[in-house]
Amino acid sequence: MIEQALIDDRAVDLGDANLTELELLAERSGINLADGHARQVLTTSQQRIVEGLAELFQEAQRSSVPRLDRQAQTAFLTALGQRRAVACADVLTCYSSSVAMEILARSAHAVGLRRVGLIHPTFDNIPDILRGIGMRLVPLPEELLQAAGPMSDVDVELMFVTTPNNPTGTVLTEDQLARWAAWCAARGVVLVLDTSFRGFDPRAMYDHYAVLDDAGVQWVVIEDTGKLFPSLDLKTGFLAFARNLCLPLRRIYTDILLGVSPLILRLVVALSEDAASGGLASLHRTISANRAALRTTLSEPGLGHWPDPDNRISVDRLALPPGLEATTVAEDLRGRGVQVLPCPKFHWASPTDGERFIRVALGRPEQAVRQGAEIIREYLLEQRGGLS
């Protein structure tokens, strides 16, 4: 009864739902290949860490919280190749990357920034938070960000880039980052990166902080442990920023939190050390195997194609066969017991462009990906039959 009531009172209009509302629905039933949280099986060494949670609690109890906080930041950032961060960044540990995002947006608004250039497409809670705070958004297509030619004259005060991008997996290379950092520095534009998916892709593990620091730009980087470690969403976001940054991040931060649980900090230290000593490589194998299972299952002609062949992050896009619309496909698949995300909301400036794509999460047990892929395959085969 309680479960029924819950579902009733959380009913949402699917057509109007944001991506997180669709993800919430996906948590309730069937095979959830919707949200991008880490839900793969714990590795043996991660399992051992989790089995020691009671001891980690005791250790955290005895520790200095500021020291543990800095240890978590350092362990995570260095595991992901961000060695300069420790030297050049102030870092505020947040409950999540979205809370870091909210603090960033509120701080930028507080000093009068309004015009934001934002990568397109990207996960919809980024444009939704920015708009909700009162920002005016200018779409920055991925192609523009990657172009080698002369820099387009974009009139913005803040530039926001998700790299690797969600859902495409597109990575801003070191050269591209250096160019945009110089461009922002010359114009007094604040450059913000969301690197939550960094840990999946070695090409995104060059030292971004060194590039940003050397460029002398005003910069902010949002990091996230939650996409990598399947620790039941015991996670942190990190809001890292240049020491000379003109935004009141610390003040807005302390309006919202005193800090993150020291047990979570201790757990992040342990999981990051594990990541550095083999855990990341293991994660890459898991995601790669799941991606291969998905793509192989859907490899027959006429079932769509894979628009992001180089994508390494824990989600994958399928471009649907002509004639199919993602919103309908996702709803049909939900009816068959598998949850994926339709992509219109990712294309926040031109939603209909997203109707060609669905997004499938890969941070899952391989069996779930295989079963989900099989259901998607059967559905698309039927559609192909119906369309031909």
Q: How many residues bind its own copies (CB under 8 A)?
A: 64
Q: Does 40 bind its own copies (CB under 8 A)?
A: no
Q: Closest approach of Cβ 293 to its own copies, in Å?
A: 22
Q: Does 129 bind its own copies (CB under 8 A)?
A: yes
The rounded distance, in Å, linking the Cα atoms of 132 and 18 is 13
Q: Does 111 bind its own copies (CB under 8 A)?
A: no
Q: Does 264 bind its own copies (CB under 8 A)?
A: yes
Q: Does 95 bind its own copies (CB under 8 A)?
A: yes
Q: Which is nearer to its own copies, 143 or 243 (CB)?
A: 243
Amino acid at 65: V
Q: Does 46 bind its own copies (CB under 8 A)?
A: no
Q: Does 255 bind its own copies (CB under 8 A)?
A: yes
What are 29's two structure tokens?
A: 């039933």
Q: Which of 30, 31, 33, 35 binds its own copies (CB under 8 A)?
A: 35
Which residues in 24-42 are b (16+ Cβ under 10 Å) and which e? ebbeeebbbbbbbbbbbeb
Binding span for its own copies by CB under 8 A among 121-129, 285-293, 330-338, 370-378: 121-129
The rounded distance, in Å, linking the Cα atoms of 46 and 279 is 8
Cis link prior to 164 (omega < 30° from 0)?
yes
Give me the residue label for tokens 């523009």: 144
Q: Which is nearer to its own copies, 99 or 333 (CB)?
A: 99
Q: Does 337 bind its own copies (CB under 8 A)?
A: no
Q: Going residue by residue from 222 to 251, which x/- string records binding to its own copies, judged by CB under 8 A? A: ----------xxxx-------x------xx
Q: Which of 93, 96, 163, 168 binds its own copies (CB under 8 A)?
A: 96
Q: Which of 83, 111, 132, 278 binds its own copies (CB under 8 A)?
A: 132
Long-range contacts of 20-27 (CB under 8 A, 24+ apart): 20/125, 22/330, 22/339, 22/341, 22/342, 23/341, 25/334, 25/339, 26/334, 26/339
Q: Does 102 bind its own copies (CB under 8 A)?
A: yes
Q: Does 128 bind its own copies (CB under 8 A)?
A: yes
Q: Which of 154, 182, 263, 276 binds its own copies (CB under 8 A)?
A: 263
Contact 363, 287 (CB under 8 A): yes
For β-strands 357-361 and 341-342, DSSP reports them as antiparallel
Q: Which of 43, 78, 90, 381 binds its own copies (CB under 8 A)?
A: 90
Amino acid at 214: D
Q: Which is nearer to its own copies, 254 or 328 (CB)?
A: 254
Q: Which is nearer to its own copies, 87 or 148 (CB)?
A: 87
Q: Does 65 bind its own copies (CB under 8 A)?
A: yes
The rounded distance, in Å, linking the Cα atoms of 23 and 96 is 17
Binding span for its own copies by CB under 8 A among 254-262, 281-289, 294-302, 313-321: 254-262
Q: Which of 45, 84, 86, 174 binds its own copies (CB under 8 A)?
A: 86
Cis link prior to 121 (omega < 30° from 0)?
yes
Nearest to 190 by CA among 274, 294, 116: 116
The rounded distance, in Å, linking the Cα atoms of 90 and 83 is 13
The rounded distance, in Å, linking the Cα atoms of 22 and 34 is 8
Backbone angles phi and psi of 2, in degrees to 5? -60, -45
Nearest to 139 by CA among 112, 109, 160, 169: 160
Q: Which residues bind its own copies (CB under 8 A)?
A: 2-3, 6-7, 9-10, 12, 18, 20-21, 23-24, 27-28, 35, 37, 50-54, 57, 60-61, 64-67, 69-70, 74, 86, 90, 95-96, 98-99, 102, 106, 110, 125, 128-129, 132-133, 232-235, 243, 250-252, 254-264
